[in-house]
Amino acid sequence: GKEIILSPSLLSVDFAHIADGIKELDRAEVPALHLDVMDGAFVPNISFGAPVIKCLRKETNMIFDVHLMVEEPVRYIDDFKKAGADWVTVHAECCKHLHRTITAIKEAGMKAGVALNPATPVSVIDYVLDEVDMVLVMSVNPGFGGQSFIPSSLRKIVEVRKLIDERNLDVRIEVDGGVNLKNVGEVIKSGADVIVAGSAVFNGDIYENSTKFMEKFRER
Ligand code: DX5
Ligand code: ZN
């Protein structure tokens, strides 16, 4: 398989010192930064949006992996492009016209991902799988960091991996929610190749935690 990418979720950073957190990730040579945008409508929480991401863009060259937990995200694609997003992932549950939204992300020059809530079946993305660059399997219900990993997510990762490989597609699988150093091995074994970790990276020594994750990826 491809090289595994760590994408720490900024949601668990100390928001009074975001740039310091980013510096630690850069020092550890973390490839991507997961940016959770929440609208208080699709999810019961509000986080930050394009203006914040635009400011952070000046601080680092990491891949900006933007996870939109927003109703009808098609409305904001240009804003996130201008803010410097590299990857934009939308929830299948949020789009009236999922295919159109994915096409618009790619036409704007970004990589497009589609996310599935824990209760959403894989069949929902059957007809867009060959259009996306990434499938994000949510392993918690979106809205908050620090929740525990829902076990049935492993089965879903396996199912998505099977579809991608059967069709010979070049699509990554990202897993988001409750991933830690104990369960990340199983997550990778199931077929994921982009690993999100929020609390497991930011609670404690950011440099050390990121390094430990990336060592685990290498020893597989
Ligand atoms: C949840 C977010 C996740 C979250 C992950 O809605 O999409 O990215 O920040 O945090 P942990 O790793 O602590 O579950
Ligand atoms: Zn996320």
Mean pLDDT of 58-70: 99
Torsions phi, psi of 6, nearest 5?
Answer: -90, 130
**pLDDT at residue 184, rounded to an integer:** 98
Give every strand in the sheet of 172-176, ordered side by side.
Answer: 5-8, 194-197, 172-176, 134-138, 111-116, 87-91, 63-69, 32-38
Find the radius of gyration of the CA atoms of the chain. 16
Catalytic residue among 36, 39, 133, 193: 36
**Alpha carbon 43 to chain centroid, angstroms:** 16
**92 half-sphere exposure, CB direction, 13 A CA radius:** 22
Q: What is the mean pLDDT of the chain?
A: 98
Ligand 1 pocket member 140 (CB < 6 A): yes
Q: What's the rounded Cα separation, in Å, for the pair 2 and 194?
A: 10
pLDDT on residue 1: 73
Q: Which domains does the chain have, with CATH numbers?
A: 5-218 (3.20.20.70)
**b/e code 132-155 from CB counts within 10 Å (16+ = b):** bbbbbbbbbebbbbeeebbeebbe
Q: How far apart are CA 144 and CA 133, in angstroms?
A: 25
Cβ–ligand 1 distance for 49 under 6 Å, the answer no
Using one digit for the tens of pLDDT, what is the confidence trace for 144-202? 999 999 999 999 999 999 999 999 999 999 999 999 999 999 999 999 999 999 999 99
CA 65 to CA 25: how far, in whole Å? 14
pLDDT per residue over 73-120, tens digit each?
A: 999 999 999 999 999 999 999 999 999 999 999 999 999 999 999 999
Nearest CA to ligand 1 atom 4: 145
Whole-angstrom distance, CA of residue 168 vs CA of residue 75: 32
CA of 34 to the centre of ligand 1 (A): 9
Cβ–ligand 1 distance for 65 under 6 Å, the answer no
2-48 pLDDT, tens digit each: 899 999 999 999 999 999 999 999 999 999 999 999 999 999 999 99
Element (DSSP H or E) covering residue 164:
helix 153-166
Contacts of 109 (CB under 8 A, 6+ apart): 81
- Spacing, Cα 21 to ligand 2 middle (Å): 17
